[in-house]
Chain A
Amino acid sequence: MNYVPLPRAVVPIVAVATVVLLAWVGWESILFPEAFWAPGDLSQYHASVARCVHCHEPFQGPSSVKCQACHYKEDFAARSEPTVRDHHLRVIDQRKTCVACHTEHRGMLAEITTGVLPVSKTPSEVDE
């Protein structure tokens, strides 16, 4: 069987269309990265985050180190309720990942905390 190739004009047209598409995606990604790449809108809690790299490490996903740029130990110590403070200080010390309990990009009104805080022991329970 002889293979009959496509008409000669098709390949250049498709190549130009692909380049235009890639250029458009590249340009709009700079202006509206969330609309082009995110699986959902950021929640109200992170509405002020301007750029993806504020939270995402390239090819590593959401980085706990980047979370701590805003949610650091002193901030938890100063502003959080005791249960929340103790839990997060422990998580930071143990270098656990934030995304195990917190999930973003589920929409403006979504709650980002999906995990459950462990019940804190009272001082008498700790002594026992």
Chain B
Amino acid sequence: MNPVFLRLLIVGGLTLFAVVGVLLFEAILTPITILSFGRTPQGQVTGWIGLAVILLVFGYPIRKRTHQNRRWPHRWLQIHMVAGVVGPLIIILHAGVLHMHAVVPILAMVAMGIVALSGLIGQHVHYLAFQTLYTKRHELERQSVSPEEVETGLLDTAAREKMFRVWQMIHAPMTLLFIALVALHVIGALYFGGLYSP
């Protein structure tokens, strides 16, 4: 089996397992006689924590755009990937899929799922793109180009690689829609529920 496809299967399976586990945990936390977990004060705090973790993912794209003359922000990409999975899992705990009713939070959840899923797929797109560039590295090195120029040339080419660009046109716009829907949900929850819920 293709190592990339195998990796995709493992990551997909682990993600599915994590989502089911979080949903089961939320079902346990939901007081049966009264409210779903998301409507309790603890559930609302969970939502704020999930939002804070999700906001960490923007460190990487901001860093890429503001420090263009520096090396690729690899550490920020790692934070981006981890927060992009952990944040949505916390939000699933906050929302509890079986208790969802209102359209706005449901749309925000769907957008979050698309962004997170596209991010997981993006890891593999990046891997395939860089695999293609591996042969190009050897070509550049054979031309006696300096190591720094090799890195710059490869990263420039990777950014323009077609598969990566197609993926980027899904991941980035969906993120913007997700932000708009999250803002609507948070403002709506504060408007109807109050700034402070006892």
Contacts and interface: CB of A to CB of B under 8 A. Distances in A.
Interface of A: 1-4, 6-7, 10, 13-14, 17-18, 21-22, 25, 28, 35-41, 52, 56-62, 97, 99-100, 103, 105-106, 114
A13 B172 CA distance: 12
- Chain B interface residue number, banded: 35 or more
18 contacts: A1-B64, A1-B155, A1-B159, A2-B68, A2-B159, A3-B65, A4-B160, A6-B172, A7-B169, A28-B103, A38-B192, A39-B102, A56-B191, A58-B191, A62-B194, A97-B198, A100-B198, A114-B34
A59 B101 contact: no
Contacts, number: 92
B15 interface: no
B39 A39 contact: yes
Given A1-B152, A3-B159, 16 more contacts: A3-B68, A4-B160, A10-B172, A17-B177, A21-B180, A21-B181, A22-B180, A28-B103, A35-B103, A38-B101, A56-B192, A61-B193, A62-B194, A97-B198, A103-B34, A103-B35
Contacts of A38: 101-102, 192
Contact of B102 (A1, A21, A37, A99): A37
Interface in B155-177: 155-156, 159-160, 165, 168-169, 172-173, 176-177
A39 B103 CA distance: 10
Nearest to B73: A1
